[in-house]
Amino acid sequence: MKGRWGWVTPFVVCGLAALLPLFLSKYYLHMAVIVLMWAFLAVAWNILGGYGGLHSLGNGLFMGVGGYGAAYLVLHGGVSPWLSMVIFGVVAGVMGAFVGYLCFRYGLKGAYFALVTIAFTEAAVYVVSNWGALGASNGLSLPIAKENNLAMLQFTSEKGYFYAILALLLVLVLFTRWLAGRRFGYRLISVRENEEAAEALGVGTFATKMWAIVLSAAITAVGGVFYVTLFNYIDPRSVFGEAISVQILLYAIVGGLSTVWGPVVGAAILVPIAEIVRSSALGQKFQGAYLLTYGVILVVTMLFMPKGIVGLAHDIRRRFGGRSAAPGPPAVFPEKLETESAGKDGLAP
Amino acid sequence: MTHLLEVENLTRQFGGLTAVNKLSFYMDQGEVVGLIGPNGAGKTTCFNMISGSMRPSMGTVRFRGEVISGLKAHQVTKRGLTRTFQVVQPFPEMSALENVMIGAFARHRSRQAAEDKAGEVLERIAMKHKATVLARDLTLLELKRLEIGKALATEPELLLLDEVAAGLTPVEIDDILALVRKLNSEGMSLLVVEHVMKVIMNLSHRIVVLNFGSKISEGTAKEIAKDPAVLDAYLGEEGYVA
Ligand SMILES: Nc1ncnc2c1ncn2[C@@H]1O[C@H](COP(=O)(O)OP(=O)(O)OP(=O)(O)O)[C@@H](O)[C@H]1O
Ligand SMILES: [Mg+2]
């Protein structure tokens, strides 16, 4: 599937998915839209988190930039959300560069990087909660669509949203594939695997990480724009809260880090499970039951397939002599983390 | 005439410890120079500073006349100087081929070109049959070869080798020796750190001896083997100089 014809796969998969509205009821179609939206956000997270090994726990920040920005411009001036995707993609990219510069200048990675991203997102909760123009803690609401309007990304049925997010996801998957298969993609993985060795082999590790966070942030903001046009509502906790950032990461990890399809598969499996649990008797009784379910699934995944579902498939294919076009996924927590300081050159025997 | 590599007053302190102390030496095109000294003498620290992975506290490094101290390691590599690590530094989740490709990308933008180059390099280091094996599944010998392969793929003019023979059996050492000699005969200059005396004595045109960070001797293998200062430094480590 990978080799020369690999680029056909996304078209085939999305082509088949495009038939879903013929079979699905309104309820399940809505679920499909949500799956695709999370898949989009998880694929964007994966560029930095999976390929780059920099696990951001603050992608809600960039999502919020897109969501709030688009909502504000719809309410004040009726600017098309499509245009907002470009504008706030750039804005979030710049913010990503800022966060990245602060972290990478001082060589922060692992838990330290994650903590900084959490801090920024938490700060956003307080800033936006006190920002009158953005509705403070009440958030912003968009008027409900009375007719289909593609330019404003407003639809009266789920079908419109479904095709919009499917198209966005198709473009993103193609982009990720392209990125992973070229020099930048290889270098990004080398930085994740061994930064010192990468640098010695001519990889500008700082610039590589900067590009990764800028891309990931910009694309996440695009997902945020879609989020607000879908729900017609955004408030500080819903995007800047930790639940969102954690969910994104969970889909990527369970599906398989640094694989093109991993985050998509992760979202496709986990989102419906969450919805089913949430609407079950148990879920009605205990609000957080779906989070508990996620926790169990995460633990099981890490125990039995540390490289996620798609990562496991990669490994199996490699074992049987297959060749893959791009380097494979890492285990979620590579052993390198523990031996990092011990293995430093010059101090070892 | 400018030398290929000129190290001048190179110094590095770690707190109160002076790991490398006012070290000066030079290398010319096509030379193999050995850098030896007892454990902790400062050899690796010296490599770190020359290759750009560590900033010197003082002193300069010139490569082909250009001051390179202060540059980042990846910029030094682009200029044609790269190093291997004493403790092998593979990319564990990448295949042997992909490991070498990262080096090749220093000279080639397109993936296909980097892959072709990496294929050639794997052939040279006798690792072609391991191309698709993940680095984390390779043996120490294979990782040592890969370490050289990654560096070769960047097409260096000057290659710094940090103890490539350590931990290998005599037969494996001969293999690596043959490879290094071949590289030199093809015009590559090499600065070699090695504990295994057989390797260093056999290979080097000249040898620089470090002890406690300072240069204590310099000359051909014959000359330094007779130098009382060197014999002194290695006292208690007999068996190294035989
Ligand atoms: N990053 C560092 N921080 C503090 N001290 C260091 C660091 N790197 C090296 N040193 C110290 O500097 C001195 C020189 O170390 P270096 O690794 O350069 O020696 P070496 O000649 O390569 O030794 P070996 O033969 O054991 O590899 C040692 O005393 C070492 O403990
Ligand atoms: Mg050393």
Tokens 């930064």, located at residue: A195
CA–CA distance, B189 with B158 (Å, rounded to integer): 5
Say what the pLDDT of residue B168 is: 86
- Is B240's pLDDT higher than 60? no
Is residue B240 in a domain?
Answer: no
Which pLDDT belongs to residue A314? Answer: 84
Q: Which of A305-309, B85-89, B93-97 has the lowest mean pLDDT?
A: A305-309
Determine the Cα–Cα distance for residues B2 and B5; give it in Å rounded to an integer.
8
The verdict on residue A29 lying in a domain is yes
Is B242 within the bounds of a domain? no
Instruction: Give residue A7 CA to ligand 2 midpoint distance, Å.
Output: 46
Count CA atoms closer than 13 A to B127's CA, side-chain side.
33
Q: Is residue B61 part of a domain?
A: yes
Give domain status of residue B175, yes or no.
Answer: yes
Residue A137 has a pLDDT of: 87
Nearest to B82 among A198, A200, A330 (CB): A200
pLDDT at A324: 52
Q: Return averaged pLDDT per consecutive 10 residues of chain A, 349 residues in all.
A: 72 90 90 96 96 94 96 93 97 97 93 93 90 88 86 88 96 96 96 97 98 98 96 91 86 92 94 86 78 86 88 82 59 42 35
Reported confidence tier of residue B235, pLDDT bands at 50, 70, 90:
low
Report the residue from A193, A199, A328 with minimal CB separation from B73.
A199
In this predicted structure, the answer to whether residue B145 has a pLDDT above a threshold of 50 is yes
Mean pLDDT over each residue of chain B, to the nearest integer: 92
Query: Are B77 and A200 in contact (CB < 8 Å)?
Result: yes
User: How many residue contacts between A and B have a Cβ separation below 8 Å?
Assistant: 116
What was the pLDDT predicted at B30? 95
Question: By the CB < 8 Å criterion, does B53 face chain A?
Answer: yes
Q: How far, in Å, CA of A70 to CA of A163, rounded?
A: 20
pLDDT digits (tens, 9 = 90+) for A20-40: 988 989 899 999 999 999 999
Residue at B25 is within a domain = yes
* pLDDT at res. B197: 76
Q: Domain of A107?
A: 22-241
Residue B131 lies in a domain: yes
pTM for this structure?
0.91
Q: How many CB atoms are located within 10 Å of the residue B38 CB?
A: 17
Domain holding B18: CATH number?
3.40.50.300
Residue A66 lies in a domain: yes
Residue labelled with tokens 């920002």: A131
Q: Is A291 part of a structural domain of the chain?
A: no
The tens digit of pLDDT for each residue in B9-66 reads 999 999 989 999 999 999 999 999 999 999 999 999 999 999 999 999 999 999 999 9
Residue B61 neighbours by CB under 8 Å, 6+ apart: B5, B6, B7, B8, B10, B49, B50, B67, B68, B69
Give SS3 for B218. Answer: strand
Question: What's the pLDDT at A168?
Answer: 97
Strands B32-36 and B189-193: parallel
Q: Which of A198, A321, A344 sits opposite B102 (nearest CB)?
A: A198
Best of B71, B76, B82, B94 to mutate (most A CBs within 10 Å, chain A)? B94
Q: Is residue A246 part of a domain?
A: no
Q: What is the pLDDT of residue B147?
A: 95
Candidates B186, B187, B142, B131; CA nearest to B164 is B142
Q: Which residue has the tokens 């957080």?
A: A288
**CA B225 → CA A62, A176, B190, B235, distances in Å?**
65, 58, 21, 13
Ligand 1 proximal residues by C-beta, below 6 Å: A 346-347; B 14, 17, 19, 37, 39-45, 86
What is the total count of domains within chain A? 1
| pLDDT tens track for B176-187 | 888 899 999 999
Ligand 1 binding pocket mutation candidate from B11, B12, B13, B14 (most atoms within 8 A of CB): B14
Closest by CA position to A188, among listed A327, A92, A306, A93: A327
Give nearest CA residue, ligand 1 atom 9.
A346
* DSSP-assigned letter for residue B186: T
pLDDT at res. A329: 64
Does any domain span residue A170? Answer: yes
- The reply to whether A120 falls in a domain is yes
Residue B82 lies in a domain: yes
Quick: pLDDT tens for B157-198: 999 999 988 888 888 888 888 889 999 999 999 999 988 777
CA A280/CA A289 separation, integer angstroms = 10
Taken in order A324, A325, A327, A328, the sign of the CA dihedral is negative
Residue B241 forms part of a structural domain:
no
The ipTM estimated for the assembled molecules is 0.92
Q: What is the pLDDT of residue B225?
A: 84
pLDDT computed for residue A147 by the predictor: 84
Does A193 sit within 8 Å of B93, measured CB to CB? yes
Instruction: Provide the domain count of chain B.
Output: 1
Name the residue range of residue B112's domain.
Answer: 5-235
- Closest residue, chain B, to A178 (C-alpha): B111
SS3 call for B34: strand
Look at residue A85 and tell me if it is in a domain: yes
Q: Classify residue A201: in a domain, yes or no.
A: yes
Cα–Cα nearest to B42, from B25, B65, B64, B66: B25
Question: What is the per-residue pLDDT for A330?
Answer: 66
Q: Is B190 exposed, middle or buried (0-12, 13-18, 19+ CB in 10 A)?
A: buried
Phi, psi of B216 (to 5 degrees): -110, -15
